[in-house]
């Protein structure tokens, strides 16, 4: 296959503009990345987040950089492989995200509320949802505990389970945002790499990280579920803030802080998020 006759398609918009074929490449699979930016490293470290496919112009074969190859089906549609899923195809619909946003008179996004247990994540999420509802905006809360009642009930609290818990919620949140909904995800999500992976799922600006910057001693004094007491007694292992780390965001969009020994009310905190949404144009189509 002549490299100059390849067409490139990517499920990652950031990569689709950074690819070019070279007439000097005689074998399928040689790709030049323009402008640096670490794309080559991303292919190694973020396997599964995207697929790049090299297609013959006649559409007879698909090869992606995850190392799998697939053929066109009988109708000529290109099939691909992502992770352990093979021979799959992305189906496009005539109704686009912009159409749904225009109907709802808002812009879809993900508001990711992170912080220690007892920091007020769920309370602020519900307050925010209520304010948006009263303003005629469609929002939905993905609460960490609630999701573990169903979708993630097979997961525990080991590091790998926590990572999978966040990955699944990130994927669901992305679908809500694509539907034009303001999705409010509320969960501890203690590790930066997992939160960053969820951010990478969405277009720039649509992932809004809200850090509940409440000191550990305040959260422990609240202890609404009695979990800190159990963790201190050694009855719960790997509890965030006690014997498992919480990695604070480095560049969050919003930080809700406990200052001067006092904490704003949940509604006041939610109004800070509302102000951000207004400023960035999410509350209008």
Which amino acids are annotated catalytic? 189
Contact 180, 103 (CB under 8 A): yes
- Residue in 38, 41, 36, 49 with CA at minimum distance from that of residue 10: 49
Q: Which two tokens stand for residue 285?
A: 């189509």
Beta-carbon contacts of 235 under 8 Å, excluding residues fewer than 6 positions away, are none
């Amino acid at each position: 296959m002549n490299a100059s006759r390849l067409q490139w398609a990517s499920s990652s918009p950031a990569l689709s503009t950074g690819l070019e074929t070279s007439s000097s490449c005689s074998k399928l699979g040689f790709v030049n990345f323009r402008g640096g930016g670490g794309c080559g490293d991303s292919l190694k470290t973020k396997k599964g987040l995207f697929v790049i496919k090299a297609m013959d112009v006649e559409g007879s074969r698909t090869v992606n950089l995850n190392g799998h190859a697939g053929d066109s089906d009988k109708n000529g549609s290109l099939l691909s492989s992502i992770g352990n899923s093979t021979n799959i195809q992305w189906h496009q619909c005539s109704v686009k995200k912009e159409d749904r946003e225009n109907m709802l008179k808002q812009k879809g996004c993900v508001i990711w509320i992170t912080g220690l247990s007892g920091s007020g994540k769920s309370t602020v999420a519900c307050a925010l949802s209520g304010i948006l509802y009263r303003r005629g905006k469609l929002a939905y809360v993905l609460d960490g505990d609630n999701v573990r009642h169903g979708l993630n009930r097979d997961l525990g609290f080991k590091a790998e389970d926590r990572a999978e818990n966040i990955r699944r919620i990130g994927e669901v949140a992305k679908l809500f945002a694509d539907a034009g909904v303001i999705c409010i995800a509320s969960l501890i999500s203690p590790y930066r790499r997992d939160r960053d992976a969820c951010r990478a799922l969405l277009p720039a600006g649509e992932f809004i990280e809200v850090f509940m910057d409440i000191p550990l001693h305040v959260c422990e004094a609240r202890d609404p579920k009695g979990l800190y007491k159990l963790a201190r007694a050694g009855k719960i292992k790997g509890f965030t803030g006690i014997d498992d780390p919480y990695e604070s965001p480095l560049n969050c969009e919003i930080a809700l802080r406990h200052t001067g020994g006092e904490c704003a009310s949940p509604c006041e905190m939610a109004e800070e998020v509302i102000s951000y949404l207004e400023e960035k144009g999410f509350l209008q189509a």
